[in-house]
Amino acid sequence: MSWRWKLSVLFVLIMGFSTLIFMGHETSTQAPPIPDKVVDQSGTTIFTGEDIIAGQGVFQKFGLMDVGSVFGHGAYNGPDFSAEYLHLAAETALEREAQKKFGKAYAQLSAAEQGELKTGLSSELKQNRYDAQSKSLTFTENQIEGYKASIKHFDTEFGSGGKLPLPIDYIKDEKERLQLTRFFAWSAWACSTNRPGKDFTFTNNWPPEELVGNFPNWQIFLWSAMSLIMLVGGIGLTQFLMSAFPNLGWAPDGTTLTDNVKSFKPFRSQTSIYPYFIVVVLLFLFQTVFGVVTAHYIVEAGGLYGIDIRDILPYSITRSWHLQLSIFWIATAWLAAGMFMAAMLSKNEPKAQHWLVKALFVAILIVAVGSIGGEWMGIKNMLGNLWFWFGHQGWEYLELGRFWQILLTVGMVLWAVIVFRSIAPLLKGQDKGSLPYMLLYGVIAIPLFFSFGMMYHPGTNFAVADFWRWWVVHLWVEGIFELYTTIIVAYFFCSLGMVSERSALSVIYVDIILYLGSGIIGIGHHYYWTAQPAINMALGSMFSALEVVPLTLLTMEAWKFVHLAKVEGSIKNFSHYWAMMFLIAVGFWNFLGAGVFGFLINTPIVSYYEHATYLTSNHGHAALMGVYGMLAVAAVLFCTRYLMTEDAWSNKLCAISFWSLNVGLMLMLLLNIFPAGVIQMIASYTHGFWFARSYDFIHSSKFQMFTWLRVIGDMTFVVGGILPLVLLVLRGALHLRKAQDAPSTS
């Protein structure tokens, strides 16, 4: 490849990560301070910074980010605790001021009188009373009264029992419930108090809350407009470049397709990979079952069809498992496919390679079972001070304890060693920017970027910890794994003679430039309202808009797969027909789920009212399952097609699974998640975010109707989509091809 390609890639990586490091520095230095003590106006201590940090620990230990949210990040069935505290405290203050000034209840005041009180309260709360020298924060009398009212509210919610789908006495220790309220008090203070020297709050005036004067500021409108300009400009420039260089992408270049399934003879290490695929489909099944239970909690907070299961499987644990298992089964499929492809490409099996494959399989099982059990024990408060290490770490998508997280990282390093041993012969004499080296770089990047999820601990400021969490949730999943799978697909096409190595390599370079060029800094769209500085919103909004640009190309690229895989005039004669169909589905969902639904919620002004509503979940389901899930299924079908005998394979089961997964996912979105998100965003705009996330709104007749309609999509997805896939893979386990007798001596 030309040095210009390599220089462009180097520039994108340096620019992207330099900017991201700058954003991290700004986040760390400008995070809302945790005071040493919170005092009243006479100087008497109300609570301390240690209480706030301890309360954050309680929030994490009991998995409350999988029940509700703070700064809008977390689950959507429960309240946003920052917004709920802020609204309750504001109502308490306004009622107090109404009695004090007018001698009436607030509801009895005229609109003008209410407006006068709200203006006064807004001015009072917006004033930043944190003293950086003494590291003390002064609460006004209204803030203290709001704090007292919130103590009673949250003590009931997590003690004697409230409206959340949690068992009575979920947090048994009264002191821990009090510390939790103090953490919520700090988060609500950050939402309502201006940054030093600024006219907007630490959270850029989020959440929408009329009572305290939280409305969109000028920056939200400005960067929304700038993101639209970036989108239009980016699409125009990319279309120009694609027209100027028509050979970019998955273009046929005179190569001849080789359908080698029938003659394939696996190495012993490759047949040893088959148990991975069994685990993948079973985890996929369990993940969706817990998803169904989690969704049912929305219509029946007390359990499952009259059976109270909250003590055994509270909402916090079913949602935790639903999210974590999604990462587990998808990542396991990709890792297994990487090991399979490495041996297939190099035609090389190093000595004792199959033992390493089996050792890694055992390690993955230990992490999966250990972390799931640990999370349950953690929220049951059975692990004491070890909850962070072996229990529920407390962060959405990174629920597994730190010990399991470290063990998983070590497992990924072992996986990288396994792949490297296989492809080592391919690296000899190759240019450092060649296809084999790109595979090596992608493999090394996976454990490296996953490890950034260990850059925080229980005492880390919430805003700073959330900055690093998204390095895994967004950058690792949507960036590094996206690149890795592109490399695997490129090698897949190249090995079958569908494209030349040069064409495959050009696709990888374009992918790095377009996807990582926008996606590295585009991670900032998660940072708009999480108490990070406005510069993160500015950069994130513009570059996340550019993330749509490469996705618009995928609809065209996906259709090219049909032409690349034609055998005797039709793709249906290709042995990997259904794997190719899932790759085509990836192109569709990448455009719709990540592109259309992603951009729908990414402009700051839309996100201001939409953030942490079902429209976010709509994008998440369409992108995570539609893109990464479908890619994982494609990987399973591609590899198992080689490993099982011809008589065990069933195109019929694949067809049922394909159409049911795609139709079921679409029905989930159209019948439930998307319309529910629309009415929730409208409620956020008209009544305030606290109301859109309240029990009363979630359990309103219209919202409940959409939730029940989801059953149609869920059943289509699980019964028609997953069960045939499970049946196919389990049947294949009984009909594996015989491994080669003599492995390579390389």
Phi-psi region of 97 (alpha: psi -120 to 50; beta: other; left: phi over 0): alpha
- Residue 184 neighbours by CB under 8 Å, 6+ apart: 55, 70, 81, 82, 84, 85, 150, 154
Residue 745 confidence (pLDDT) above 50: no
Under 8 Å between Cβ of 626 and 665: yes
Residue 508 confidence (pLDDT) above 80: yes
User: pLDDT tens across 305-335, in order?
Assistant: 889 999 999 999 999 999 999 999 999 999 9
Average pLDDT over residues 154-172: 93
Please name which of 518, 512, 516 lies closest in space to residue 490, comparing C-alpha atoms: 512
pLDDT value of residue 123: 97
Model pTM? 0.94
Scan for tokens 């201590």, then name that residue: 45
Q: With the CA atoms of 19, 24, 25 and 29 taken in that order, what torsion angle do they form, in degrees rounded to the nearest 10? A: 140
d(CA 729, CA 731): 5
pLDDT value of residue 501: 81
pLDDT value of residue 554: 57
The first and second tokens of residue 73, run together, are 């990040």
User: pLDDT tens across 204-256, in order?
Assistant: 999 999 999 999 999 999 999 999 999 999 888 877 877 777 666 666 555 56
Residue 478 confidence (pLDDT) above 80: no
The first and second tokens of residue 727, run together, are 């049946």
pLDDT more than 70, % of the chain: 95
Kindly report which listed range (16-25, 456-465, 547-556, 620-629) carries the lowest average pLDDT score: 547-556
Domain ranges for the chain, please list them. Answer: 34-215, 220-733
Does an H or E element contain 445, and which? helix 435-450
Could you tell me the pLDDT band of residue 744, with boundaries at 50, 70 and 90?
Answer: very low
Q: How many Cβ atoms sit within 10 Å of the Cβ of residue 456?
A: 20
Query: Identity (one letter) of the amino acid at 676?
Result: A
Higher-scoring residue by pLDDT: 345, 84: 84
pLDDT value of residue 2: 78
Read off φ and ψ for residue 392, nearest 5 degrees.
Answer: -95, 110
> Which residues, listed in sequence order, are joined to residue 477 by a DSSP beta bridge?
none
pLDDT more than 90, % of the chain: 79
Please name which of 443, 627, 562, 537 lies closest in space to residue 200, comparing C-alpha atoms: 537
Under 8 Å between Cβ of 392 and 62: yes
User: pLDDT tens across 636-694, in order?
Assistant: 999 999 999 999 999 999 999 999 999 999 999 999 999 999 999 999 999 999 999 99
Read off φ and ψ for residue 264, nearest 5 degrees.
Answer: -70, 135
| Sheet (strand 45-48) strand order | 45-48, 37-39, 136-138, 130-131
d(CA 270, CA 353): 9
User: pLDDT tens across 384-434, in order?
Assistant: 999 999 999 999 999 999 999 999 999 999 999 999 999 999 999 899 998
Sign, CA dihedral 506-509-515-517, equals: negative
Does an H or E element contain 285, and which? helix 274-296
pLDDT value of residue 329: 97
Under 8 Å between Cβ of 401 and 388: yes
Q: What is the DSSP string of 173-201?
A: -HHHHHHHHHHHHHHHHHHHSBPTT-SSB
SS3 category, 28: helix
User: pLDDT tens across 69-87, in order?
Assistant: 999 999 998 999 999 999 9
* Topology (CATH) of 220-733: Cytochrome C Oxidase; Chain A (1.20.210)
- Residue 22 neighbours by CB under 8 Å, 6+ apart: none
In whole numbers, what is the pLDDT of the chain averaged over residues? Answer: 92
d(CA 318, CA 292): 9
Residue 743 confidence (pLDDT) above 70: no
Could you tell me the pLDDT band of residue 706, with boundaries at 50, 70 and 90?
Answer: very high
Does an H or E element contain 244, and which? helix 218-244
